[in-house]
Structure 1
């Protein structure tokens, strides 16, 4: 029977867990997996009942990056075919990065190449202490171009210069110090750490969290000038004037739960 390479489970609270399901291949990503993962994320983006998205991998790894069989297949691709494949993976990363829901990367084990790129696209990244990370593309004579915008944003250009060029592996502790991970826990504490994080997200205004993500994208890498300040003013006025914004303030003043917690 054909194995589904991406699993989806949504609990009654609206926490959606998306699992890369190729444990025997360390959740390596091929074209089918990339397409299915993108489609799953796009579906979740449009589902108002989904409040939080957790991305993880089955087995002992998060994702080993590119599938080796698929890379072997790509070796004979024309330039047009290579471009189509790159566009497919770029769409996956961008979809995850811009998902209008808070995202948590649950990292039970190693994340290499594209897998580490997926981690960098998530809002919150929680990893097991034994997890390893690397960008080994240069060993194959290529570069981590598709993941680079997200990884450089996470760890900065100085660290990226070292790890993109050296292709060396680094552990979870180093990943946290660099900014790729937010939290490192023991493997047997991973689920409780992710649950603790999700429970905090569930009490927040869904539209406010979406707007907060958009605000960060708005100000990232921009000059602190009058145009940016005006855009920030527009953003807060829009949110405060919204139904959710007014409800949140009234609930606070009236010392009651906001209606999104009913």
Structure 2
């Protein structure tokens, strides 16, 4: 999985994890169209690889991601309305695809986490940030609204705080992000790698396919009527009744022994 121009991809077979590092350090890891398209390709490969149980995303060098490449922002606002709609939909769908990954995802955040980079982190299931991280949604200063999923902020923080974050476009620190419910944990910079590693290792003790369907139950079920969400639970559980890992999880739990999962 190393044939990508904008991502450094490292697979750890022993720990069943894969690390995706946005590799545009010279531009503070801003997203461009190629990095988004490569992300979609990576998602397809990850979801089809049963040996990958957890995904860790970060940015090369000092920053997580400072947002979207300004060249793209200039291009998308200098086209017809039809092309603008088409281009934005394509970009949004790239993040949507990542959010739909069946594997748990962890954002390892340091430095700038802004704009599209901020929105990308919110597509992850877990977010651990260095104490020195800086968050911001600066798009209104460019005359643009949030174009990569405003609701991701609103659903986590509520309407009032979302307005404060988006309309004022001010920078805020990791402690404020934690207070707002935007991240799961804040750690000193020298403890960031270890904190992410320990979280990822927790998934070694859990059945991968069960984690995958449970992630779907939470993500999709949150927007369904209760009866429909309960039907979703039944349907997804029924879909893995043939799973060897399901039987292994049940047996190991009842016999108080360490499970040996395979991803199947």
Q: What TM-score comes out, normalization by structure 1 length?
A: 0.91
- Counterpart residue number, 1:24: 26
From 166, 175, 186, the equivalent of 1:184 is: 186
Give the match's secondary structure for 1:99.
coil
Corresponding residue SS for 1:179: coil
CA distance in 2 between partners of 1:171 and 1:137 (Å): 18
The residue number in structure 1 matching 2:60 is 58
> How many residues are aligned here?
259
Aligned to 2:220: 218
Q: Per-residue CA shift, 1:39-95, capped at 9, x if unaligned? A: 122221211111111010011111111111222333422223322321221121111
Q: Against the structure 1 CA distance between its residues 185 and 68, is the aligned structure 2 distance closer, same or farther, given a 3 Å change threshold?
A: same
Match of 2:6 in 1: 5
Q: Matched residues in 1 for 2:96 and 2:220: separation?
A: 15
- 2:206 matched residue in structure 1: 204
SS in 1 for 2:19: strand
In 2, Cα distance between equivalents of 1:155 and 1:136:
17
Task: After TM superposition, give the deviation of residue 236 of structure 1 in Å.
Answer: 4.8
1:144 corresponds to: 146
The alignment partner of 1:106 has SS state of strand
2:158 partner SS? helix
State the secondary structure of the residue aligned to 2:18. Answer: strand
Aligned-partner Cα distance in 2 for 1:43–1:229: 30
Structure 1 residue ranges without an equivalent (≥5): none
- 1:241 to partner: Cα distance: 6.7
Match 1:163 to one of 165, 170, 181:
165
Q: Do 2:8 and 2:23's aligned partners in 1 also have CA atoms closer than 8 Å?
A: yes
Of stretches 110-119 and 155-164 in structure 1, the one that deviates more from structure 2 is 155-164
Q: What's the CA shift string for 1:180-209, capped at 9, x where partnerless?
A: 110111111110001000111122100010
Query: What is the match of residue 248 of structure 2?
Result: 247
Aligned-partner Cα distance in 2 for 1:156–1:138: 19
2:48 & 2:241 partners in 1: Cα distance?
23
Structure 1 residue 255: deviation in Å?
A: 2.8
2:120 pairs, out of 107, 113, 118, with 118
Q: Distance in 1 between matches of 2:68 and 2:235?
A: 41
- Give the distance between the partners of 1:227 and 1:73, measured in 2 at CA: 42
Range 226-235 or range 21-30, more displaced: 226-235
TM-score with structure 2 length normalisation?
Answer: 0.90
Inter-partner Cα distance in structure 2 for 1:54 and 1:67: 22
Q: SS where residue 76 of structure 1 aligns?
A: coil
Question: Which of these residues, 178, 195, 198, is aligned with residue 197 of structure 2?
Answer: 195
Question: What RMSD over aligned residues (CA atoms) do the two structures have, in Å?
Answer: 2.1
Partner of residue 260, structure 1:
261
Matched residues in 2 for 1:250 and 1:134: separation? 47
Distance 1:233 1:41, change over 3 A: closer
Runs of 4+ displaced beyond 6 Å: none
Give me the whole-angstrom Cα distance separating, in 1, the residues matched to 2:187 and 2:228: 42
